[in-house]
Amino acid sequence: MRKITLITTGGTIEKTYDEHTGELANRRSLVRRMLSELRLEDTEVNVFELMSKDSLQMTEADRIRILEAVRATGACEEEGTGGIVVLHGTDTLALTGQYLYDHLDGPRVPVVLTGAMRPFEMKQSDALQNLTEAIFAIGVLPPGVYCVAHGQALPFPGVRKDTERGTFVKG
Catalytic residues: 12
Angle at CA 22, nearest 5°, toward 19 and 27?
Answer: 75
CA nearest to 101, candidates 169, 161, 155: 155
CA 140 to chain centre: 17
**Given CA atoms 131, 135, 141, 144 in this order, what sign does their dihedral have?**
positive
Contact between 100 and 145 (Cβ < 8 Å): yes
According to DSSP, the β-strands at 2-10 and 159-162 are unpaired
d(CA 90, CA 118): 10
Alpha carbon distances (Å) from 94 to 27, 71, 77, 81, 125? 23, 19, 24, 25, 20
Residue 26 vs residues 8, 13, 132, 133: alpha-carbon distances, Å: 11, 9, 21, 23
